[in-house]
Structure 1
Amino acid sequence: MVFRCVLAALPILSALQLSAAKGEAVRYRLFDTKAAMDDKTGWEWQSYPLGCGYFGWNVFGIPENERIQVTHNAMVTYRNLTNALEIRIRTGHVKPIRYRRELDVDTAVAKTEYSCNGIDYRREYFTSYPARTGIVRLTASKEGALSFDVSSQIPFITPFGDKDGFGRRGTVESTGDEIRVVQEMEFQGIKFAATIKVLSDGKVVPKDGMLQVSNATVATVLFACDTNYEVCPEMFMEGMRKEKMSKRNPVANVGKIMSDAVAKGYDKLKEEHVADYCSLYGRVRLDLGSDSSDSERKTSELLSLYRRGKRSAYLEELYFRYGRYLLISSSRPGTMPATLQGVWNMHRKSPWGCGYVHNINVQMNYWPAFSCNLAECFEAYAEFNRAFRPASAANATNFLSRYRLEIPKWEKVKEYGVWCVGSTVFPFEVAGGPGGHSGPGMGGLTTKLFKDWWDFTGDRTALSRHIYPAHRGMAAFLSCCVRDYDGKILSAFSSSPEQLTDGPWHPGQKKFVNTIGCGFDQQLIVSNNRDYIELKGLIGASDDDVSRRVSGQLEKHDPIQIGWSGQIKEFREEGYYGSLGEYRHRHLSHLVALMPGTLITRDTPAWLDAAKVSLDGRGDKSTGWALAHRICAWARTGSGDRAHRLLCGLLAERTYHNLWDSHPPFQIDGNFGAVAGMAEMLLQSHSGAVDLLPALPNAWKDGSFSGLRARGGYSVDCEWRDGVPVRAVVRKDGYAVPPKVRFGGVVVSASSVENSAFVYTGFPKQIVRLSPPSEVKVDRSSRTVSWKVSSSQGLSYRVLRNTRSAPGYDVLAKGLKGTSFRDESVDFAAEDYVTYKIVAEDESGNVSEGALHTCSRATAFDKARYIMSVRNLNGIEIAEKDLD
């Protein structure tokens, strides 16, 4: 039987239909002509990940002794996820020919094919979410030629009482046509059960914990597993956990799962799996003008060519689809959420414990959930968050006590649902509250996901169960985290995540910047609390102590400050960019108002320009996930070519052969963040309109997408040629009013309505790009601003000025024909900094990019100290002539 993923229904549009037909003809898959190496490197670089949310598989494709490594996100020791199980299928086929393995991203089915001794062998693998089952189908081209052994091993068995808390025991037994595995972890008494069953037209014999299959032509290996862990508040409560876990019987649950799977049979299981997967995956399509011949290249070859400068639109399309595949595979309703490694880990002691890290990583995991039409995948995290919030209330009060802040009465803590989050949450533990390397803004970074859930879906059930309670409890906490400092309401403890006092981290030196009111915390306090007030109105809640307190504070948080370099300040005490902390730090914590936040938009142009200065300072070289954040952030600024350059760097330097993201080591947030960034390049909706192609790079000259989502509950399709939309379609179920749609900052009206969808065709034929001015200089003594132009034919110039961290610019002059301007109203001595911006415009009103220059009150001493400090701590040379 052949199953293909059917794309989501498209509107009746000839051009888009032609593109869709092309998209269906191209197969999106990872493939290789060698098996993965049977070691840690092979697991990380080469194995193919499968998953159904309940568990994950890594398939190696080894002909003679297949390895399937199993991950279950509840198989933890203290603050650490460990390898759950190993499965082996031994055939003895040691000299195969015509070998090939692949992972079909369109159907979530993997395959291994080869020939040995004149017989063709084929294996097919998938993990079914509806059936909670993993399936391997083995076939031989010759009747009765299929013989193999199936075995299972419990990794890292350790006697109870181990000083490191890794105690683990279990049994593996075979009976009839089944292998039954039972494990127990010393930590928290976790119990794990698994069954491996073989259905075959040959002979199946149990022996020494294995199953021996002989004289078969077809065999199906079924796998099911479960634990006594349940996502619920009791798991995080010491006194309630044991009783709750004792009521779950994973052995019985696995028995039921397996009997249901057997009753369905292989064909039904596969049909059900593909239909379920494609119901999510098939909603979105992306065509960037790929060459279909690239689909016949090995994935490792595509990456190798890409590193050498041969860009592949197919690889970029595949990477986008693969990221959505990974999210569908690792996070579904009723499962545990995706960790730092999704649902895949082979290690005894996993990197960073495979926890849920809340100073950006777990949030980045879900950035593509809403824009890329996978809102259901967020439900796993939403339920997990709802489960741990009650336990985190004690951490919230402890944090407030530690910094001598006001603590609401305990009954109010419960009533308001007060909660906080530290850097990491594990399946049984909220590991402390804010402090150390990350401030209380982590909670606001988390609730932004919940606000996006509402903005993209309008789900009122989610609003009442998850979205509003999360914001209200966090607002209650954050409104107590602050003090009044000279009229500014600032976070009394504040830390920009993982930023160090003494430049880049090295062993033995780890001193984090702890301060008051850093950009990260201030921006996210404002973000959460503004959203809370909005949601409160939507739900019709009455005013209370929390809402009154929050409303009284909102306008005094001062979330954005601009510094002497014209940058968004990371710290209030910062002068020039990077004067405190690591200059090229991986985190963009002071730019969360840009991405994922919505405080910095095209409606705050001075803040947006300052964000670009900070992004330039951070640089384009970093870890995998940090490059993904940079892609998203540059896309939000409208800088498509810069965002694409970062995507190229991510694919070339931070991507393994199986397309997993390399921190290094493997971290899945980079995959998810990059997919979100690609979507941001094509469609944005965070500034009051549906913006088409807001950051389209020149490399994506022609293309189309369908099914991306915009805030307001819209689904959007768009086709473009030469960088300009040809036709776009926006739809929303039961919605009769056309949305505000923009391209290039210009509002476009719907030209027609087809099948309850709004169709837009009235786009400009081309984009006019004016040459921007350059080399802006300021002579303070004469208060004269001057600039250079490459060509002034038919152009005039505007002079804009920004001071005192205002979100916008004052217009000082427009319609200038010359290249200088005297600013009679400026008082340099009264300002901390002054930024001038010069833009060119033509007679049709087209405006160029701007050229900037920032003057500051920095003295010669300030400049010299800054230059020396950055050189000493970061190894970066700053020229004095570049400082003003």
Structure 2
Amino acid sequence: MKKILILFLLLGNVVYAQQPLRLWYQQPAARWEEALPVGNGRLGAMVYGRPGNEILQINEESVWAGNKFNDANPNAYKVLDTIRRLLFANKNDEALAIAQPNFVAVDGENSTQIARNFRSNQTLMNVNIRYGFTDYTGYHRELNIENGISTTRFTVNGVEYKQEVLASAPNNVIVVRITASKPASIDAFISLDRPAPRDTSSRCIDCKVTAAGNNQLVLNGQINDLEGKEKRGPAGLHMRFAGMLQATPTGGAIQAKEGGLQVKNANAVTLYIQGATNYNAVKQDVDPGASIALNKCKQLLQQAALRSYAQIQAAHVKDFEAVMKKVKLQIGEVAEDATPTDERLQQVKKGHEDPHLVALYFQYGRYLLLSSSRRPGVLPANLQGIWNQHLDAPWNADFHTNINLQMNYWPAEVTNLSQTTAPLFDFMDYIRPQGRITAKKMYNARGWVVHHCTDAFGKTGVQASAAWGTFPMAASWMCLHFWEHYAFTLDYNFLKTRAYPIMKEHALFVEDFLVKSPEGYLVSSPGSSPENRFVHPVTGKPAGLTYGPTMDSQILREFLSKCIAAANLLRTDSADAARWQQIITQLPPTRTGKDGRILEWIHEYEEAEPGHRHISHLFGLHPGTQITEQSPSLFEGALKTLTGRLSKGGGHTGWSRAWIINFYARLKQADSVRNHLQALLAKSTLPNLFDNHPPFQIDGNFGGTAGIAEALLQSHGDYVEVLPTLPAAWANGSVTGLCARGGFELDISWKDGVLSGLVLRSTTGRNIVLKYRQHLLPLSIEKGKEVVVPVHQLL
């Protein structure tokens, strides 16, 4: 039987256990979606684990095609009033006909309309290790998500080979350690390459691999963006990038040969892998200079290579485990981890229920967020986190701000990963200068704005289609993440110096953008309900461009309420707060239609796609806080909305299914949480547990993790509710380290579906009201203290 490590933690009178945190397989990865990810926020690698021709596909977060320019269409404001009049007169087609050429992003150099949005995030390179083994036994491949190390083992002719791969944040490098059980047994040929472009949108010049001495390989190049069939911004020579590898053998010999490095008769080999670009995160632009990327890469490699693998590994494990061990989740009894991960997933796809796989999926989401959004990285997690094998990725592997970027960070605060938000907050701060230009150009408004997606260069215009790209409330939604960070941490300085300034500045845009509708409301116009359309009551045709969609009004209500709360806490801007309150009172209310469902638009229209993947009009349920048990008609309406959407095929993408889990958690529908988690695994999860949109898109992983947390702990109301939506199938279990708003950490255990243990820690000294089922328990706890809560008072 395989040996397993089971973790036990004694707190109060409760013993907390956790299954081993690993993904493991009995065969190498046949394709990218089976490879295993490691990352340090800046560098990422997908490890195939192949004994013959090993591949490590390498990403550096800032490798992007395209360049910096403001893409706001200067014609927008000239036609804004006309578009609004047409929309108010139900002439949506005419409004769209004017909006499409005058709203969609333009080339910053000559104002030529871009037929599609900006260019793509790109892979950096592949590291190829040709071991050459075809016959091997005892194969084992795993990813330990608690310490962030990917390990491959196999035996050839009685010699056991082991390959370990990690991406170190403390030493800012990817390191590979290859060892053998017998001296002088390692022969390998190591090379670098980069995939050739499959289209005409982007090429690479001077993209070649050279040897530096006998133990280094250097990939150096510059992205050459071409016109192509789809105009996606100015063509030309743009970002420079570099990748390097240094091989340090123990024993044996190494020499540069045939464009690579040949290692012979080594006892062990350490590979240091590095990458860099000339990207400047503060400017969201590239720095001029032909050697910047290469020099940066050399310097980073030189610093890392001063340390042995043992030193780098020790620092990495200490750093990584300290974060991952903050939260432990066990569902059901501890059992032996005897079935490979892909086989367990296949069993789930056949209908088997696997609570341990649910717990692993939860922790995997935490692992992926920590690995793709942290220092030394400077960019937030994109649509693929930090792992992208393409030069022209699906949806550009960009930052979609009409839910996807937001969903990436839903688990950040509640699952004790608050530090992962730093790149997101910096990115949104740095985007403001472009957002100000766009607000002025397009709407003659103060403040700043961004629409439905952006890239590393901070584009803020309307991308691709006015019908679904016109979503200026994306900025309002992004601002709410700043507030959430404060709500969980109560970091007053963060609220004063980071959150409130960006929120207040965007509130200026909101004030100038909203207009009075024929119904007498203040509404967003033009706007859209993300990527969805309704059947126009006059023309009978699908229409997307509209005014006052429900999601916009819900976001605005949430955003302005938080602006008021922040101003009150900071004891400032009372006149602004009063004005914001007046706006809130004039926003369209969330309403239900004839069948009791929440209306998605300001009027009750027929749905063009009744099973659409976006369920935007339930923003007020989650992540918003407006639809609760205290608003019973809307609460019931939200449930009917979900039932209706799902009956028509909704939830068919991974991220959409993940959002549905969060909806049902808020609705206290435990069986539905369980069923949709099962569906997320069975229908939208790849062999390496990546989320499948399809294709791969990482937000489903993050949304799924957040949904599991939401079932176990909620704190968006006036109390902290434990086990609000516990599925019956999770009858026994425990979780430690979940965070609640107000600066609290909780350890919770339950038995036979009933709360059995509760430990509470406070980082702020705030009072708390705990809720379990229908029981409330007010408590006072000192800052920095821990208390074992008398559970009988909640039963």
Normalization by structure 2: what TM-score? 0.86
Secondary structure of 1:76's counterpart equals coil
| Residues 488 and 248 of structure 1: CA distance in aligned 2, closer, same or farther (over 3 Å) | farther
Greater alpha carbon shift after TM alignment, 59-68 vs 471-480: 471-480
Secondary structure of 2:734's counterpart equals strand
Secondary structure of 1:452's counterpart equals helix
Instruction: Report the CA distance between 1:248 and its aligned residue.
Output: 8.0
**Distance in 1 (alpha carbons) for counterparts of 2:315 and 2:541:** 51
Q: Are positions 1:329 and 2:368 aligned together?
A: no
The one-letter amino acid paired with 2:621 is: L
Query: Of 435, 438, 461, which aligns to 1:395?
Result: 438
Instruction: Report the CA distance between 1:251 and its aligned residue.
Output: 2.4
Secondary structure of 1:189's counterpart equals strand
Structure 2 regions of 5+ residues with no counterpart? 67-118, 226-236
Query: Of 448, 454, 473, which aligns to 1:419?
Result: 448
| Residues 671 and 734 of structure 1: CA distance in aligned 2, closer, same or farther (over 3 Å) | closer
Runs of 4+ in 1 over 6 A off after TM superposition: 4-7, 751-755
The one-letter amino acid paired with 1:154 is: R
1:757 matched residue in structure 2: 786
Alignment of 1:69-468 (within 5 A): 69-78=57-66, 79-156=119-196, 164-174=201-211, 175-187=213-225, 189-201=238-250, 202-232=252-282, 234-235=283-284, 241=285, 244-246=287-289, 249-293=292-336, 295-335=337-377, 336-400=379-443, 407-408=444-445, 413=446, 418-433=447-462, 435-437=466-468, 438-468=470-500
Q: Are positions 1:747 and 2:776 aligned together?
A: yes
**Distance in 2 (alpha carbons) for counterparts of 1:169 and 1:502:** 52
Instruction: Report the CA distance between 1:157 and its aligned residue.
Output: 6.5
> For 1:554-611, what per-residue CA distance to the aligned partner results, in whole angstroms no more than 9, with x for missing partners?
1111331111111111012116xxx233111111100111111111122222221111
Query: Of 706, 724, 727, which aligns to 1:694?
Result: 724
Structure (1 or 2) with the larger CA radius of gyration: 1
**Distance in 1 (alpha carbons) for counterparts of 2:525 and 2:245:** 55
Secondary structure of 2:164's counterpart equals strand
2:451/2:473 contact within 8 Å kept = no
1:87/1:152 contact within 8 Å kept = yes
Secondary structure of 1:264's counterpart equals coil
Instruction: Report the CA distance between 1:510 and its aligned residue.
Output: 10
| Residues 11 and 396 of structure 1: CA distance in aligned 2, closer, same or farther (over 3 Å) | farther
Greater alpha carbon shift after TM alignment, 433-442 vs 377-386: 433-442
> For 1:31-53, what per-residue CA distance to the aligned partner results, in whole angstroms no more than 9, with x for missing partners?
1111111xxxx102x11011111
1:5/1:282 contact within 8 Å kept = no
1:457/1:712 contact within 8 Å kept = yes
1:748/1:762 contact within 8 Å kept = no
1:832 matched residue in structure 2: none
2:639 matched residue in structure 1: 612
Q: How many residues align?
A: 716
| Residues 732 and 140 of structure 1: CA distance in aligned 2, closer, same or farther (over 3 Å) | same
Percent identity over the alignment is: 31
Secondary structure of 2:692's counterpart equals coil
**Distance in 2 (alpha carbons) for counterparts of 1:751 and 1:537:** 24
1:726/1:761 contact within 8 Å kept = no
Secondary structure of 1:740's counterpart equals strand
Pick 1 or 2: higher relative contact order, CA cutoff 8 A, min separation 6: 2
1:651 matched residue in structure 2: 681
Q: Are positions 1:61 and 2:46 aligned together?
A: no
The one-letter amino acid paired with 1:757 is: E
The one-letter amino acid paired with 1:454 is: Y
| Residues 755 and 352 of structure 1: CA distance in aligned 2, closer, same or farther (over 3 Å) | closer
**Distance in 1 (alpha carbons) for counterparts of 2:184 and 2:541:** 63
1:480 matched residue in structure 2: 512
1:287/1:703 contact within 8 Å kept = yes
Query: Of 745, 760, 781, which aligns to 1:730?
Result: 760
The one-letter amino acid paired with 1:219 is: V
The one-letter amino acid paired with 2:320 is: Y
Secondary structure of 1:479's counterpart equals helix
**Distance in 2 (alpha carbons) for counterparts of 1:732 and 1:754:** 5
> For 1:529-562, what per-residue CA distance to the aligned partner results, in whole angstroms no more than 9, with x for missing partners?
1111111222233346x54542321111133111
The one-letter amino acid paired with 1:609 is: E
Instruction: Report the CA distance between 1:384 and its aligned residue.
Output: 0.8
Instruction: Report the CA distance between 1:265 and its aligned residue.
Output: 0.9
Query: Of 18, 31, 34, which aligns to 2:27?
Result: 34
1:48 matched residue in structure 2: 36
**Distance in 2 (alpha carbons) for counterparts of 1:376 and 1:204:** 41
Greater alpha carbon shift after TM alignment, 474-483 vs 86-95: 474-483
**Distance in 1 (alpha carbons) for counterparts of 2:709 and 2:220:** 44
Structure 1 regions of 5+ residues with no counterpart? 236-240, 401-406, 504-508, 767-884
> For 1:609-634, what per-residue CA distance to the aligned partner results, in whole angstroms no more than 9, with x for missing partners?
11111111111641100000000011
1:624/1:663 contact within 8 Å kept = yes
1:57/1:68 contact within 8 Å kept = yes
Instruction: Report the CA distance between 1:420 and its aligned residue.
Output: 1.0
| Residues 345 and 136 of structure 1: CA distance in aligned 2, closer, same or farther (over 3 Å) | same
Instruction: Report the CA distance between 1:641 and its aligned residue.
Output: 1.2
Indicate the RMSD between aligned Cα atoms, in angstroms: 2.4
2:563 matched residue in structure 1: 532
Instruction: Report the CA distance between 1:117 and its aligned residue.
Output: 2.1
**Distance in 2 (alpha carbons) for counterparts of 1:458 and 1:754:** 12
**Distance in 2 (alpha carbons) for counterparts of 1:422 and 1:47:** 34
| Residues 452 and 510 of structure 1: CA distance in aligned 2, closer, same or farther (over 3 Å) | farther
2:764/2:783 contact within 8 Å kept = no
Instruction: Report the CA distance between 1:134 and its aligned residue.
Output: 0.6
Instruction: Report the CA distance between 1:11 and its aligned residue.
Output: 7.2
Secondary structure of 2:280's counterpart equals coil
**Distance in 2 (alpha carbons) for counterparts of 1:557 and 1:90:** 63
2:202/2:223 contact within 8 Å kept = no
2:670/2:726 contact within 8 Å kept = yes
Q: Are positions 1:14 and 2:13 aligned together?
A: yes
Instruction: Report the CA distance between 1:431 and its aligned residue.
Output: 4.4
The one-letter amino acid paired with 2:777 is: V
The one-letter amino acid paired with 2:53 is: N
**Distance in 1 (alpha carbons) for counterparts of 2:671 and 2:583:** 39
1:601 matched residue in structure 2: 628
2:613 matched residue in structure 1: 586
Instruction: Report the CA distance between 1:163 and its aligned residue.
Output: 5.6
2:768/2:780 contact within 8 Å kept = no
**Distance in 2 (alpha carbons) for counterparts of 1:420 and 1:606:** 34
**Distance in 1 (alpha carbons) for counterparts of 2:764 and 2:200:** 61
Instruction: Report the CA distance between 1:186 and its aligned residue.
Output: 2.4
2:187/2:266 contact within 8 Å kept = yes
**Distance in 2 (alpha carbons) for counterparts of 1:753 and 1:52:** 35
| Residues 589 and 56 of structure 1: CA distance in aligned 2, closer, same or farther (over 3 Å) | same
1:519/1:569 contact within 8 Å kept = yes
Secondary structure of 2:527's counterpart equals coil
**Distance in 2 (alpha carbons) for counterparts of 1:255 and 1:347:** 25
The one-letter amino acid paired with 2:472 is: P
**Distance in 2 (alpha carbons) for counterparts of 1:156 and 1:31:** 31
The one-letter amino acid paired with 2:208 is: T
The one-letter amino acid paired with 2:219 is: V
**Distance in 2 (alpha carbons) for counterparts of 1:57 and 1:603:** 47
